[in-house]
Amino acid sequence: MLNLSSIQTSYGHIKALKGIDIEVEKDEIICLIGSNGAGKTTTLLTISGILKPDSGDITFEGESLKNMPPHTVVNKGICQVPEGRRIFPRLTVLENLEMGAYSLNFKSQTSNFKNNIEKVFSLFPVLKERTKQMGGTLSGGEQQMLAIGRALMANPKLLLLDEPSLGLAPIMVSKIFKTIKEINEEGVTILLVEQNAKAALRLSNRGYVLENEVIKLSGTGENLLHNEDVKKAYLGE
């Protein structure tokens, strides 16, 4: 479905990715783990078109995304939930969700919109109770739910999640991970970037370990969980 081949991306003169190959199949949950500065977020930003790769190619369903601006990438069915829950603080929960459907065209908007919003509310019932509340007044976990819900409003085929567990209470983390699984079961492919390696690998079909701007390891979630190097470096065992 999504294919990255020898992607190199840099910030000015500094190389942030030195040739990354990632493959995501339909209906999979793929996770990308690695330490700070390894290039995880850069990878996602390159896929969603916010950063332009220097070389290499990205294809999505056979189409090259390499020179596409971010808003066109969204129209192709790739939605990103950016790091740090970037919701619209002074818009209400409902308005935030409405904005998520911005990329849908007018004709499909009304019917799709109602379906999508029902789907989001069934995934995150707490958002339904707070439709009129300002986004900025939600708790951290609720804001993360809103950010994910907003991305789902655009009917994504592939959802890019950047550190959904960042700064959340443990109980909220497990709740979010459970919902990610549910979203996946409804037919949305997921590419997940996480610090919380153990939880992410348990959830995923396959995983990639990024280290110093390159892919160091890849394999099924189960295999990586039991890999000695991964255990030592990322699982703290």
Partner 1 sequence: MNYAAVKRHPLLRSLLISLFSAILFLPFKDLKSSAILFAVLFICLSAISSVKNLQALPSLPKIKLAHPRFLRSASMPAGIIIFLAFPFFLKDYYLDVLIMSGIYMLLALGLNIIVGFTGLLNLGFAAFYAIGAYTYAIVNTKLGMDFWVAVPLSAGITALSGIALAIPALRLRGDYLAIVTLGFGEIVRLVLNNWDNLTNGPNGITGIARPSIFGTAIGKLNMYYYLVFIFVVIAAIIIRRVECSRIGRAWISIKENEIAASSIGINTTKYKLYAFAFGTFWAGIAGILFSSKMQFVSPESFTFMESVLILSMIIVGGLGNTYGAIAGAFILALLPEMLREVQSYRMLILGIALVLLMIFRPQGILGGFKRCTF
Picking from 31, 17, 27, the residue whose alpha carbon sits closest to that of residue 230 is: 31
What's the min distance (Å) between Cβ of 100 and partner 1? 5
CB of 27 to partner 1, least distance (A): 23
Q: Which residue number, 99 or 166, has a Cβ lying nearer to partner 1?
A: 99
* CA gap 118, 56 in Å, rounded: 40
- Exposed, middle or buried, 5 (CB in 10 Å: 0-12/13-18/19+)? middle
Q: Which is nearer to partner 1, 105 or 237 (CB)?
A: 105
Task: Using CB under 8 A, list all residues that contact partner 1.
Answer: 48, 50, 69-71, 74-75, 79-82, 86-91, 98-100, 102-103, 147, 150-151, 153-154
Q: From CA 132, how far away is CA 130, in angstroms rounded?
A: 5
* Minimum CB distance to partner 1 smaller for 77 or for 207: 77
Q: d(Cα 179, Cα 152) in Å, to the nearest integer? A: 12
Q: Residue 43 or residue 103: which is nearer to partner 1 going by CB?
A: 103
Question: CB of 79: closest distance to partner 1 in angstroms?
Answer: 7
Residues 158, 138: Cα–Cα separation, whole Å:
26
Q: How far is the CB of 167 from partner 1 (least distance, A)?
A: 17
